[in-house]
Amino acid sequence: MARVVLLFIQGWARCRENLLANLLTGIVLWVMGGLLIAAFHWHPAFNAVLGEVGVKKAEWGYGYSCLSTAFFGGLVPYCLLFFQGKIPSGRKLAWLAFFLVFWGVKGMEVDAFYRLQGFFFGYSADFQTILSKVLVDQFVYCIFWSAPCTAVFYGWKRTGFSFWKDRPWLSVGYILEESAFLLVSTWVIWIPSVSIIYAMPKDLQIPLFNLTLCFFVLVISMLEKR
């Protein structure tokens, strides 16, 4: 227990220099999410546009989740890194494949998780339902699966996709430390964001997740010092 607390303290120490960037990103996303919900309920034309998106999501199912998340979570950040010259020489195709495959699979995973949440808690937008989903999302799914999984795969990318040497990304210490850093640095953004996502109808939750992910990447890229 003491080891876990220490890791979260270390994670907090690592993310403090980018705390302002994360907080500003969170504020931007919260305002945009609130405006989106308001427009969905009170602007007929915008409601109709989102309705068409929801229809496509319902028709394509996991295919929509895979392609849209690969684009917003994979291709967009890859292009940012590419034009900023941050991709190592000789790794451009490998990084592109990694970003597209990882986030495509992650999109289907998140879709399945949202459906599971809907099965247990329903799709009502009342306070109790949203709170239950947010708690399970951020303090069960993220802690025990999403953050460790992301830490492992991005650690693998960082070491040049090597399976046979330099594998710190498989050590328990590394996974715990990186997971703590990921959680502490993004809770300020994603707890309010998933609250907004779960307030939307089921077929619009993945599209809103994609938009949140895309803006998260764009704003963080503009605000981060490094």
The pair of three-digit structure tokens given for residue 144, joined into one six-digit string: 């025990």
Among the residue ranges 17-26, 94-103, 127-136, 179-188, the one predicted with the least confidence is 17-26
Q: Is the pLDDT of residue 21 over 90?
A: no
Q: Could you give the percent of the chain with pLDDT greater than 70?
A: 81
Report the pLDDT averaged over residues 205-219.
83
pLDDT, the chain, mean = 82
C-alpha separations of 127 from 121, 122, 187 in Å: 12, 12, 19
Q: Are 74 and 50 in contact (CB under 8 A)?
A: no
Q: Is the pLDDT of residue 135 over 90?
A: yes
Dump pLDDT digits (tens) for 33-86. Answer: 777 777 777 777 777 777 788 888 989 899 999 999 999 989 998 998 888 888
Q: Is the pLDDT of residue 217 over 50?
A: yes
Q: How far apart are CA 41 and CA 56, in angstroms?
A: 20
C-alpha separations of 98 from 30, 42, 64, 82, 208 in Å: 29, 40, 19, 14, 23
- So what's the pLDDT on residue 16? 60
Dump pLDDT digits (tens) for 86-119. Answer: 888 888 899 999 999 999 999 999 999 999 999 9
Within 10 angstroms of residue 24's Cβ, the number of other Cβ atoms is: 15
Dump pLDDT digits (tens) for 165-189. Answer: 666 666 777 788 888 888 877 788 8
- So what's the pLDDT on residue 6? 61
The pair of three-digit structure tokens given for residue 47, joined into one six-digit string: 């409601």
DSSP state of 139: I
- So what's the pLDDT on residue 175? 84
What SS3 class is residue 88?
A: coil
Greater confidence, 25 or 86? 86
Q: Is the pLDDT of residue 225 over 50?
A: no
DSSP codes joined into one string, 157-223: HHTTS-SSS--GGGSHHHHHHHHHHHHHHHHHHHHHHHHHHHTS-HHHHHHHHHHHHHHHHHHHHHH
Per domain, the residue ranges of the chain are: 2-223
Within 10 angstroms of residue 21's Cβ, the number of other Cβ atoms is: 18
